[in-house]
Structure 1
Amino acid sequence: MRKLLLRSFYRIYQSVFKMAMPFLPWRRPVLLEGAGSIKKLPGLLEELKIKNVLIVTDSTLMKLGLLDNLIKELGINGCKYAIYDQTVPDPTIENVEEALKLYHKHNCKAIIAFGGGSPMDCAKIVGARVSRPKMPIEKMKGVLKVIFKIPTLIAVPTTAGTGSEVTLAAVISNSVTHEKYPINDFCLIPHYAVHDPELTLKLPSHITSMTGMDAMTHAVEAYIGRSNTKETKKAALEAIALIHQNLLKAYTTPGDIQARAAMLKASYLAGVAFTRAYVGYVHAIAHTIGGFYGIPHGLANAIIMPHVLEYYGSAANGKLAELADHLGIGKGSQSTDQKANAFIQYLKEMNQKMNIQSNIEQIEEKDMPEMISRALAEANPLYPVPRVLFEEELKELYYKIKG
């Protein structure tokens, strides 16, 4: 009876959110696109009359020299900048507070997030702290806690996976408690985004694979959920097709700039889909595993997704069969269940081709109760999943993922 009542409450909660979606303050960032488009950014700042910016990035990108063109052009245009390059994978509260100090010290008026999902998450939450200086990050956890307008935020993705340049989500980690949780608010959607495929050409193959499958997870979870709209379904389907056509090309031929550009578009479209239709238990579980064991988020999603989709069973098979047909991997004579299984097998084979393992052996039984509790708190009642799961089911899933 308890589960029945909870399930009913969750579905009502999700239905209300879905009905409210068209009336909420969505925005899409203004896009600067094409090879070399990073050079247009200083001109944009000049148009906006912004003379001081904080750049949030990480040390690896600095060492690779990916910011060199931007820094050079900023200097030519007379725009002052401060650089915070200590962002770690799965950014921490400490990262945000350190970057925030730089923002205020240099009297910045805008933030440039330069990198993958981690710098973008860090930059978003720096913006949130600027707009809500008296609110600690822990109090921002969940939905619509920030509310107030943040400084101009410009996202420059150097990976094709998170879609953070168009989403309202930012994920933060507490390095003390190992908790990893999302902060969701419309004001966190970047105002501008730069899609320059040249910035992704130096990505190591394992980053290309992980981030590409991260985008796939966003699109698949959005599509199979219960809060889809005509727009989110279209965006998810286009993203999945682009990933299907281009991810392996980008992985095996890193210099293929057309494939890189297509993956940036796919990541963006997957972001459009999931920021409106939400994700599911793949993400909720991945966040806990990332928090406890430091598994990169895209890698965790790639490994976990086939396990969760299989566990959903008939609740998701109809939508998964549609995806199989969409990619041309479902045969006309096959049943719905067979097509769904073909799509799941396709995902497993994609992982294998890119040397992504099928299990996460680091999972320890002693950590499961806390991870299950956190995953449930994140997913229920917000995520409009095909099938609502509870403690016992999630425990089975964690064992399945462990292998």
Structure 2
Amino acid sequence: MISESMRNTVRAKGLGALMKGAGLITRFIPIPQPTLLVGPGSSARLGQAVAGFGHRKILIVTDSIISKLGLLKDLTDALNAGGAQFVVFDEITPDAPIPLIQKGIDFFHEHDCDAIVAFGGGSSMDASKAIAVAVSNPKPLNQLAGYLKGLRAPVKIYAVPTTAGTGSEVTVAAVISDPVTHKKLVIVDPRMVPKMAALDPTLMTGLPPHITAATGIDALTHAIEAFVGNWTTSYSDGMALSAVSLIFENLRTAYTDGQNLAAREKMSLASTYAGFAFTRANVGYVHAIAHQFGGLYHTPHGLANAIMLPYVLKYSHPAIVDRLALLAVAAKVGTENEDTDTLAQKFLDAVDQLNRDLGIPTTLAALREADIPKLAVAACHEAHTGYPVPRYMSQQQCEDLIRKALPPKEPSSTKADKAAASAPKRTSAKKSQKPAKN
């Protein structure tokens, strides 16, 4: 009789060999890199450049908050000065749902556009990429999910990120949500990489601290998962280590002092470097689980990654000690003369401490025990069919890992006390009377 542990071992070896083989193939897929404009005012410089490219009409894809805050002004002023025609679609919402993307596709056609500027956070970037692919390949968006499902090249995209987290301005993927199935869908096509991107820190100074924190850990997750997986290259390693170093040096400052342009600029570079790293080396279980949280509970992607990163790292620890040690040195939480076991533990502790300093919760308030089995099934399927994870887990192990993020149960005595406190007070029908004075 084959034991469950032996069965898992055999299965893991088979999956590992398959993913390593796929990794060898992906090394030869050409991935374009955008021209990067970096620093204060770079969004205006991008507008000047795009205005000179002779597009018929440009679609700017963003959200209503960015539009109302006037963050588009430098870009649009530059486009106007260069005589470029443009229209603004500012209806993007978190998770980029399919019906909204379809609305953007219709808007693109209605205004006879021929290029897109993605302006905003990850949702605006992903929506722009999905629109660009679907415009060139008119078929249902869920049929475009997967690798290279569009025969024709997407329309040209330019990018102006307003958060330092997703790295989507340099990546080959777009994550969209299907509100019918409550699942995230991933469209992958190297031709979706923007032609040019502006990393303008002035657009990020107004980000609330909690968004700065979650998006910053999102970038850290990209870098770490790219570095510890089985598709690494010398290029992806260099980008990942640079990103980790920049994040540990600057994220706390960006969180506590949002107006610090130097920290904001370095965080935007870190996000881009991490994007370069995982575009080539891919991600792992943190993302596989986070995508399920986003699909079912609409948890912001950065927050979901931030919650799960410590748990997945601790699970993967036995298989990645050497890599964790290198990350510790890059993060400057240890030195090269220390032994690898010590350095690895220091990095795990440093990630925990960074999350605490940034106010990242250790649990997901929306998570329900009854949902965990289906979340684990979906996460394992995503990871085992697409990600070069360093240490495989069974469905049961995945369930146990997700269970760590369950919010603590409220003691029954506390519930009873709360119920009693909220119950209407009863008053006596008879009022006490004092003896009458003579």
Which of 302, 313, 317 is the aligned partner of 1:313?
317
Unaligned 5+ residue runs, structure 2? Answer: 1-5, 408-438
Q: Paired residue for 1:66?
A: 71
Q: Does structure 2 conserve the Cα–Cα contact (< 8 Å) formed by 1:314 and 1:337?
A: no
Instruction: Return the letter of the residue paired with 1:111.
Output: I
| Pairing 1:12-23 to 2, within 5 Å after superposition | 12-23=17-28
Q: Paired residue for 2:223?
A: 219
SS at match of 2:404: helix
Which of 182, 189, 192 is the aligned partner of 1:188?
192
Instruction: Return the letter of the residue paired with 2:30.
Output: P
Q: Does 1:258 align with 2:273?
A: no
RMSD: 1.6
Q: Does 1:201 align with 2:201?
A: no
Distance (whole Å) between structure 1 residues aligned to residue 151 and residue 19 of structure 2: 21
Q: Which sits farther off after the overlay, 4-13 or 341-350?
A: 4-13
* Deviation, structure 1 residue 2: 5.0
Instruction: Return the letter of the residue paired with 1:275.
Output: T
CA-to-partner distance for each residue in 1:361-392, whole Å, 9 max, x for gaps? 32112212221122122111321111011211
* Deviation, structure 1 residue 298: 0.5
Q: Does 1:340 align with 2:348?
A: no
Q: Does 1:153 align with 2:157?
A: yes
Instruction: Return the letter of the residue paired with 2:194.
Output: P
| Pairing 1:135-146 to 2, within 5 Å after superposition | 136-146=140-150
Q: Paired residue for 2:371?
A: 367
Q: Paired residue for 2:57?
A: 52
Instruction: Return the letter of the residue paired with 1:195.
Output: L
TM-score between the two structures when normalised by the length of structure 1: 0.96
Q: Does 1:249 align with 2:253?
A: yes
* Deviation, structure 1 residue 318: 2.2
Which of 26, 38, 43 is the aligned partner of 1:33?
38
Q: Does structure 1 conserve the Cα–Cα contact (< 8 Å) formed by 2:51 and 2:79?
A: no
Instruction: Return the letter of the residue paired with 1:291.
Output: G
Count of equivalent residues: 402
* Deviation, structure 1 residue 148: 2.6
SS at match of 2:259: coil
Q: Paired residue for 2:424?
A: none
CA-to-partner distance for each residue in 1:52-109, whole Å, 9 max, x for gaps? 0111101111121101222233233332222111111111001210100110000001
Q: Paired residue for 2:387?
A: 383
Q: Does structure 2 conserve the Cα–Cα contact (< 8 Å) formed by 1:61 and 1:115?
A: yes
Q: Paired residue for 2:360?
A: 356
Q: Which sits farther off after the overlay, 172-181 or 94-103?
A: 172-181
Distance (whole Å) between structure 2 residues aligned to residue 355 and residue 326 of structure 1: 23
- Structure number, greater radius of gyration: 2
Distance (whole Å) between structure 2 residues aligned to residue 46 and residue 85 of structure 1: 20
Instruction: Return the letter of the residue paired with 1:351.
Output: N
Q: Does structure 2 conserve the Cα–Cα contact (< 8 Å) formed by 1:278 and 1:384?
A: yes
Q: Which runs of 4+ in 1 moved over 4 A?
A: 331-335
Q: Does 1:91 align with 2:96?
A: yes
Q: Which sits farther off after the overlay, 368-377 or 267-276?
A: 368-377
Sort the Cα spacing of 1:371 and 1:89 in 2 relative to 1 into closer, same or farther, 3 A. same
Distance (whole Å) between structure 2 residues aligned to residue 353 and residue 309 of structure 1: 18
Distance (whole Å) between structure 2 residues aligned to residue 159 and residue 302 of structure 1: 15
Distance (whole Å) between structure 2 residues aligned to residue 22 and residue 318 of structure 1: 23
Provide the identity percentage. Answer: 42
* Deviation, structure 1 residue 397: 0.6
Sort the Cα spacing of 1:3 and 1:242 in 2 relative to 1 into closer, same or farther, 3 A. same
